[in-house]
Amino acid sequence: MTTTVTLHSGARTIGGVCVSVEHAGAKAVLDFGSPYVPEAQVFDGRVEPRQRTWVADSIRLGLFPRVDGVYAAEDLGIGGVGGIGGVGDTGGLVPAERSTTETAVFVSTLYLDHMAAIGAVSDRVPVFLGPAARQIELAMETCGLGVRSRRSGYESFEFDRPVRVGAIEVLPITSYTDGFGSCSFLVTTPDGTVHWTGNLTIDGFDTGNALAEADLLRERGLDLLFCDATRFSFADELNRAAGPAGLVRPTLAPPPGAPTTAELDDLLARTIAECRGLAVVNVYQRELASIRKLLAYAARAGRTVLFEPDAAHVVRQCLGLKPSVYLPDSARLAAPAGRPEWLARLLAECRVVAKAEVAADPRRFLVQNSYANILELLSLPSAGGVYIHLDGEPVGPYDPAWDNMTRILDRAGFALARFDYNDVVGHAFPGAVKYYVDRADPKVLAPCHCTRPELLTAARARQFLPTDGLAFSLTDL
């Protein structure tokens, strides 16, 4: 039997990469998220997901990957369950109950474009996350911040220790261990090797990890490399990275003017310390590395961080702290008799700081504020205040909600300070990607996680540009 590789999604989108490697009745699925395409998002906050058919709807809308043997029959609408007409509505997908293939799903990072669909996977199929990522996701699902899930739980892998799925070996290779931890996946079958970089990070503290990974791939004699080429999507990035001939040069040096992680850390600490009024932060709540920074920099500036209950629950569960809590005016948090167990326990064990106390001395506090509760700013003192956008939602000016956020900030009177760590750490600069690829020296390079994958080439590897849904034999490359 030969090894079949399929790029189910992510060929020409930023995010949403889903790759499966199948051999001799076993299949390893690498990442199971949803691409970030703001203009194509159906659930815009006004359209509500249907209760019984949300899995099938998401597949049909292109939000979840189309992979055989992963979803439950009832979720695919087979037999008319949930009012769906039949299997044809979900593209003829084989449900988990009818699949004879041993299947497992592996998640490289806790960002939604890599794992938004894991809650839709049948309990018959194990879903593996890193240990910290598993803990965070379960805590977030408890309080309603996680992915919508039909599952009873997730499995955990250990970094740099292989997991076997039939004749397939999947090795999670550490990318970085801070926050929730991220990894890449090296898949080995009797026919050869396939690697998926996940989010390729080559900056500061994790440069050594990326280079060690590239060296390992070269030593193993890598056959096929699916490589994160996000930064090749943007013309300005390529112009900054181009050499005299207009080509991107392989280099670990950041492009001129690009900030480093250390420089962003210093600026964030100074922004919090030098704020003359209330500091407010919109942080990506899955990223505990950012939350640790906020706690440290706020303490250094003499400020107490006040977390909304959802984020406070994650901090309490995953960092072992008892954070101070700010209660937004939210219907689901208002009635003590109707509070869920996690919230009742949180409020019983943690200090709740009232708005009046914040208003009395705003320089003592740093308030975490999610976009859903942004109207809280209208009740908070804004004189000398700053709104720190730290990779939270909306994610950037290309998101339709960004303009709405800035309008509300203007009305509330808060200055905006944007810190895009994900732009620096989350994806390597074009020159660094080229350096990594050439150092790994694969036989075949398949750029993905990018709108212009054809722009990433290698010194020696043959470029291969698969389309979404294309299945091919590893031995035929």
Q: Read off the pLDDT of each residue in 169-198 and give the average, rounded to a whole number.
A: 92
CATH number of the domain within which 391 lies: 3.40.50.10710
Task: Check pLDDT > 60 for residue 289.
Answer: yes
pLDDT, greater one: 206 or 30: 30
pLDDT in tens, 92-130: 899 999 999 999 999 999 999 999 999 999 999 999 999
Residues 228 and 143 in one domain: yes
Give the β-pairing of 168-176 and 470-473: unpaired
Residues 221 and 122 in one domain: yes
**What does the alpha-carbon distance between residue 194 and residue 21 come to, in Å, rounded to a whole number?**
8
Residues 297 and 219 in one domain: no
Query: How many beta carbons lie within 10 A of that of residue 200, not counting itself?
Result: 22
Q: Is the peptide bond before 394 cis (omega within 30 degrees of 0)?
A: yes
Q: What is the DSSP-derived secondary structure letter of residue 371?
A: G
| pLDDT of 40 | 56
Q: Read off the pLDDT of each residue in 194-215 and give the average, rounded to a whole number.
A: 87
| pLDDT of 38 | 60
**Lowest mean pLDDT across 171-180, 367-376, 466-475:** 171-180
User: pLDDT over 70 for what percent of the chain?
Assistant: 91
Task: Check pLDDT > 60 for residue 80.
Answer: no
Contacts of 169 (CB under 8 A, 6+ apart): 162, 163, 187, 188, 189
Residues 78 and 135 in one domain: yes
The amino acid that residue 403 corresponds to is: D
Domain holding 132, by residue range, is 4-235+429-476
| pLDDT of 336 | 64
| pLDDT of 86 | 45
Q: Read off the pLDDT of each residue in 56-66 and give the average, rounded to a whole number.
A: 91
Residues 66 and 154 in one domain: yes
Range among 55-64, 220-229, 390-399 with highest mean pLDDT value: 220-229
Q: What total number of domains does the chain contain?
A: 2
Task: Check pLDDT > 60 for residue 345.
Answer: yes
**What does the alpha-carbon distance between residue 281 and residue 283 come to, in Å, rounded to a whole number?**
6
**Lowest mean pLDDT across 60-74, 171-185, 356-370:** 171-185
| pLDDT of 211 | 93
Does residue 325 belong to any structural domain of this protein?
Answer: yes
Does residue 338 belong to any structural domain of this protein?
Answer: yes
Q: How far is CA 284 from CA 125, 182, 287, 368, 419, in A?
A: 29, 15, 6, 10, 11
CATH number of the domain within which 34 lies: 3.60.15.10
**What does the alpha-carbon distance between residue 320 and residue 298 come to, in Å, rounded to a whole number?**
18
Q: Read off the pLDDT of each residue in 82-91 and give the average, rounded to a whole number.
A: 48
Q: What is the mean pLDDT of the chain?
A: 90
Residues 281 and 213 in one domain: no
pLDDT in tens, 149-168: 999 999 999 999 999 999 99
Residues 230 and 352 in one domain: no
Domain boundary among 383, 399, 424: 424
Task: Check pLDDT > 90 for residue 379.
Answer: yes
Nearest to 288 by CA among 172, 155, 136: 136
| pLDDT of 245 | 56
425 in Cβ contact with 268 (< 8 Å):
no
> Is the pTM above the cut of 0.75?
yes
Query: Please, what sign has the CA dihedral across residues 469, 472, 474, 477?
Result: negative
Q: Read off the pLDDT of each residue in 247-270 and give the average, rounded to a whole number.
A: 87
**What does the alpha-carbon distance between residue 231 and residue 238 come to, in Å, rounded to a whole number?**
8
Does residue 241 belong to any structural domain of this protein?
Answer: no
Residues 274 and 296 in one domain: yes
Does residue 252 belong to any structural domain of this protein?
Answer: no
Nearest to 1 by CA among 115, 167, 234: 167
Does residue 256 belong to any structural domain of this protein?
Answer: no
Domain boundary among 424, 441, 463: 424
Task: Check pLDDT > 70 for residue 82.
Answer: no
| pLDDT of 18 | 98
Does residue 125 belong to any structural domain of this protein?
Answer: yes
Alpha-helical segments (H) within 371-444:
401-412, 421, 430-440
Residues 59 and 125 in one domain: yes
Q: What confidence tier does 79 reach under pLDDT thresholds 50, 70, 90? A: low
Q: What confidence tier does 411 reach under pLDDT thresholds 50, 70, 90? A: very high
**What does the alpha-carbon distance between residue 30 and residue 226 come to, in Å, rounded to a whole number?**
11
Task: Check pLDDT > 80 for residue 184.
Answer: yes
Nearest to 30 by CA among 200, 167, 194, 141: 194
Does residue 357 belong to any structural domain of this protein?
Answer: yes
- Cα atoms in the 13 Å half-sphere on the side-chain side of 271: 23
| pLDDT of 42 | 63
Q: What confidence tier does 45 reach under pLDDT thresholds 50, 70, 90? A: low
Residues 435 and 308 in one domain: no
Does residue 354 belong to any structural domain of this protein?
Answer: yes
| pLDDT of 456 | 94
Residues 187 and 296 in one domain: no
| pLDDT of 365 | 98
Residues 269 and 404 in one domain: yes
**Lowest mean pLDDT across 31-35, 107-111, 203-207, 300-304:** 203-207
